[in-house]
Chain A
Amino acid sequence: MASPSPKSPEQSEKNKQYDRQLRLWGDHGQTALENGHICLINATALGTETLKSIVLPGVGAITIVDDSTVTDEDIGSNFFLECSSVGINRGSEALRLILELNSAVQGHSVQESTDQILLENPDFFKAFSVVIATALGEKTIQELSQHLWDINVPFILCRSVGFLGSFRIQLKEHAVVESHPDNEQPDLRLDMPFPALKSFLDNFDLDVVELKDHGHIPWIVIIYKAIEKWRLKNNNQWPMSTKEKNEIREIIRDFIRKDENGIPINEENFAETLRAVNTALVPTFLPVKIQKLIYNSAAINLTNESSPFWIMCSALRNFVETEGKGKLPVCGALPDMTASTDHYIQLQNIYRNQAAIDAEAIYRKVQQITAQLHCETISETEVKLFCRHAHNLYLIKGSCIAQEYRLESSVASYIARYLEEPNVMMVHYILLRAAERFLSEHCRAPGDWEPEGDISKLKSCVSKLLSDISCSPFPKDDHVHEMCRYGGAEIHSVSAFMGGCIAHEAIKIVTKQYIPVNNTFIHDSASTNSAVFTF
């Protein structure tokens, strides 16, 4: 039979390949990822597992920095090395096998040590969107993190030892417009309806004749009418308390049609209205989080170096102070609800139009600012996206790892607070740090040869750290003993878990979508527990 098919809007090969992830971060997220360049320092199992989940979704390019040669031990834990790789440079072998995963990704390998690069060509790191490092010594960690902090390149420091894994993200400042909250609060403005919304709601008659139509009145209208009725009797107040909300519910129940026996008819839209009472009655307000952002000095003292994010925050502040009357722009999204097609689409358009009007006002302010500052213009699409998500903007102000390593007083007291609880995940943090110190003192991992003999040596590293933060020594040696048992072993499944998480964080940083960990994640695969700390 001849194909009745019209012009086939066949997708591109790339869209098909990436379909399942495009549904998460969209085409613009994918473009951002494809413009990203990730640097991995040391192609350990943890390193290659991380790169794997960055290369598969199609990052633009990767560079591996590694000056070591492949050993038998590497082969045992690292999937991206082959038996024939033994004796060859680890970074170049790993790169070859990782690039097989995705032909769209560019790759480079640099067979030098990080120390050497820092010394001879520190500008090398400026090219990257994120630098990810595994298996680095204490001294290099501090120098590299300070350098990346200074040149403002995001850095993720990663570890995998025995059953323990950790990563620490260093970001100077990271703004997220699309944070993708799990439960977004609807922005309905029932307490202060804008003219188009008010006229729609006021013109709506609840006493429609047909039962079918009554069952298709959108809950927004029903709740608005209930509130109106309540306010008439209550000095035009807004219902806030539980008692008042219950009164609203009573009014809504009164609206429900009854059958000839006086029994309420089951109408889905009224059931929805009753369920919506709690969220719909939340008054429109400027969230404190957003208020802090728009009054942040970076949004007030703009320069021609200011990022688009701060310029848009500045324009947003101006909007809030003028047209917005203290409120954010209307977000424009209408939650799904039982309704006739006509009413739903009308309502949807009312919200969308207002959102467009508000976004347009902010876009004009942005244009004024960029013109005044003589800086690059910001596209209307970008401003619209910013306005759509203005209620959920997110900013991370990070701290430098070198500062954490120096255990300055604020860091010390932060750690001490958790140790006093006591918090076992913070104990793991201390052990990971102590093992790093052990390595720099003894040139091997604690317990690498045999565990028992290293317990007292590792214990003294722990004691030194604890005394640096004015904490008393651990009452028991069990965690020290466990770390010596690990002997610096890298367990593949632990690295694979951490690698998945780290790749994910790198993608969040590159796409500027979803919220990255702020700033330290520790995982114990033995107890299947994780914790996040903010150093």
Chain B
Amino acid sequence: MAGESQTSDHNQRRWHHIKKLLERSGPFCHPDFEPSPDILDFIMNSCKVLVVGAGGLGCELLKDLALMGFKKIHVIDLDTIELSNLNRQFLFRKNDIGLSKAKCAVDFVNKRVPGCEAVAHHCAIQDFDEGFYRQFHIVVCGLDSIVARRWLNGMLMSLLQYNDDGSLDQSSIIPLVDGGTEGFKGNARVILPGLSACIECTLDLYPPQKTYPLCTVANTPRLPEHCVEYVKVIQWAKENPWGNSVQLDGDDPHHLAWVLERAQERANKHGITGVTYRLTQGVLKNIIPAVASTNAAIAAVCATEVFKLATSSCANMNNYMIMNMADGVYTYTFNAEKRSDCLACSNVTRVMEIEPEATLQAIYNKLCDDQDYMMKSPGITTIINGRNKTLYMASVKSIEERTRDNLKKKVTELGLYNGADILVADITTPNTLTIKLKFSELEDIEMTH
């Protein structure tokens, strides 16, 4: 008995700091906030938080949440630990190289913070269905992939339920807190699905991906990057140095050495300087610089927002914070606006305007290149006379071959018409999206009537 009361005293003292925030009211508290010991009890024993990613941000998030009182934490990460992670992913040691990030991170935090019951999932986010995601109160995400972020966003949006009158069922909302970093810059945001701007509403906030035009790479290289890109996209396929079936692997030191040497040859031929090992690796693997401090700061902002969401002890940020630590330390918080016709979070069908003479290729290009869609490899189907018809799909080879010719055809030849719906599937979302086609000139004709 004595031991038990000692433990409880110990626990009382251990959470003394957080209890001050949760058991006292203050002039700036959220209006719904009722100070009570029950809040800490909720955080510890009921509130389930999903951390997506156990990398630079994920390690920090896991530690932050465990020390903010959260116990029921799940972590998903597909990756294994590499040496280049150790400059910031502080839950891992050299002995852990090759092991699952999620498992290592969880083991470490559960051991360091007694009572923490974190659970690891060494798999892809796509391996879980709605039932899995629905169990969480809050999802917080520290990913380096925009595609994965968009997929997860789409998943949380698909969990939204609407009442008969079209209004949103508030209990179906699972808030998403999202953080991202690049070098000395970062951002953090809070998304209330269906209520505030989601990832798809603000796709234009992502900087365009750095690409090198093929004709420059092939014919008029100027930069060391062009030389590496040449070896990667042209010379490798031509020479197949390890045989036909071996793809270029940026993590294989032999491959890297081969590319480096070929790129240096090309650079020398053209008088280009600066092809180094580091640069070559950076181009091949599209490496984004990363440092411990930026990750720590951004993850901490996300953890604070999770804490606010779970406890109502303070109003959440509204709703997007950017940070730059290169020149001083600068933060700016603004209200990113929700798109009323967002593909993911509105209950409204998106309209795509096209020329009546347009080909399916034009639609495909729009889906890939347009700032509004930025899809990777959209599969397009439609329903004609109540039957599903695949118009184009690149992801399955046999279907691709069968539907390739459709790209050249006019949409009207494929049975599409002004006002027809197309159904689009892509790796950026778990859901099939319905897009309504609108022929641009028809409206003009109507107006002249």
Residues of A in contact with B (beta carbons under 8 Å apart): 1, 3-11, 13, 15-24, 45, 49, 52-53, 56-58, 71-73, 75-79, 82-83, 100-102, 162-163, 179-182, 216, 336-341, 344-345, 349, 447, 451, 478-479, 481-482, 485-487, 489-494, 496-497, 499-501, 503-505, 507, 514-518, 521, 523, 525-530, 532
Q: Known contacts A5-B258, A17-B84; is A345 also within 8 Å of B24 by CB?
A: no
CA distance A515 to B223 in the complex (A): 28
Query: In the assembly, what is the distance between CA of A448 and CA of B13, in Å?
Result: 13
A269 to chain B, nearest CB (A): 11
Smallest Cβ-Cβ distance to A477: which chain B residue: B27
Give the nearest-CB partner of A212 in chain B. Answer: B219
- List of 8 A-B pairs having minimum Cβ-Cβ separation, nearest first: A500-B296, A500-B297, A72-B13, A497-B300, A496-B300, A504-B293, A76-B14, A478-B27
Q: Whole-angstrom distance between the alpha carbons of A9 and B253 in the complex?
A: 9
Contact call B184/A24, Cβ cutoff below 8 A: yes
Set of chain B residues within 8 Å of A179, measured between Cβ atoms: 327
- Tell me the bound Cα distance from A76 to B86 in angstroms: 25
Contact B287 A20 (CB under 8 A): yes
With contact pairs A489-B20, A503-B292, A504-B325 given, residues A341 and B258 touching in the complex (Cβ less than 8 Å): no
Give Cα A528–Cα B314 distance, bound, in whole angstroms: 11
Could you tell me the distance between the alpha carbons of A517 and B323 in the complex, rounded to whole angstroms?
A: 14
Q: Which B-chain residue is minimally distant from A506 (CB atoms)?
A: B293
Number of interface residues of B (CB under 8 A): 83
Q: Which residues of A contact B18 (CB under 8 A)?
A: 76, 489, 491
Q: Which residue of A lies closest to B302 (CB)?
A: A493
Residue pair B16, A76 in contact (C-beta under 8 Å): yes
Q: Select B292's contact among A1, A53, A487, beta carbons within 8 Å.
A: A53
Are A493 and B24 touching (Cβ within 8 A)? no
Q: Smallest Cβ distance from B9 to chain A, in angstroms?
A: 8
Query: Is B222 in contact with A496, judged by CB distance below 8 angstroms?
Result: no
B25 is contacted by which of A11, A485, A525 (Cβ under 8 Å)?
A485
Q: Contact: B329 with A505, CB < 8 Å?
A: yes
A416 to B393, CA, bound (A): 66
What are 9 of the A-B contact pairs (CB < 8 Å)? A6-B261, A18-B87, A52-B90, A57-B87, A101-B90, A491-B21, A493-B304, A525-B304, A532-B330
Closest residue of chain B to A503 (Cβ to Cβ) is: B293
B2 on interface, CB distance cutoff 8 Å: no
Which residues of B sit under 8 angstroms from A4, Cβ to Cβ? 241-242, 258
Q: Give the distance to chain B from A214, nearest Cβ to Cβ, in Å.
A: 13
Residue in A15, A179, A530 whose Cβ sees the most chain B Cβ within 10 Å: A530
Binary interface encoding of chain B residues 321-345 relative to chain A, with 1 for a CB under 8 A from any of its CBs, else 0? 1001111111101000000000000
CB distance from B78 to the nearest CB of A (A): 19
Decide yes or no whether B272 CB sits under 8 A from chain A: yes
Alpha-carbon distance A340/B299, docked complex (angstroms): 45
Q: B282 an interface residue at 8 Å Cβ cutoff?
A: yes
Any A CB within 8 A of the CB of B376: no
User: How near does chain A come to B211, taking the closest CB pair, in angstroms?
Assistant: 13
With A17-B87, A18-B87, A76-B16 as given contacts, are A481 and B27 in contact (CB-CB < 8 Å)? yes
Q: Which residues of B contact A9 (CB under 8 A)?
A: 257, 260, 277
Chain B residues near A481: list those with CB within 8 A.
Answer: 26-27
Instruction: Give the docked Cα–Cα distance between A82 and B282 (Å).
Output: 39
Q: Which chain B residues lie closer than 8 Å to A162 at the CB level? A: 20-21
Kindly supply a per-residue 1/0 record for chain B positions 56-95, scoring 1 wherever the CB is within 8 Å of any chain A CB and 0 otherwise: 0000100110011000000000000001101110100100
A528 and chain B: residue at smallest CB distance:
B317
Question: Do the beta carbons of B83 and A13 come within 8 Å of each other?
Answer: yes
- Chain B contacts of A5 at CB under 8 A? 254, 257-258
The reply to whether A518 and B328 form a contact with Cβ atoms under 8 Å apart is: yes
Contacts of A181 in B (CB 8 A): 327
For window 144-192 of B, CB contacts with A under 8 Å fall at 183-184
Say whether B301 contacts A23, CB under 8 Å.
no
Chain B nearest Cβ from A159, distance in angstroms: 14
Q: Are A336 and B223 in contact (CB under 8 A)?
A: yes
Quick check: A6 and B114 within 8 Å, CB to CB? no
Indicate whether B430 reaches chain A with its CB closer than 8 angstroms. no
Contact residues in A for B402 (Cβ distance below 8 Å): none
Contact with A along B207-244 (1 / 0, CB 8 A): 00000000010001111000000000000000001110
Residues from chain B with Cβ under 8 Å of A20 in the complex: 84, 87-88, 287-291
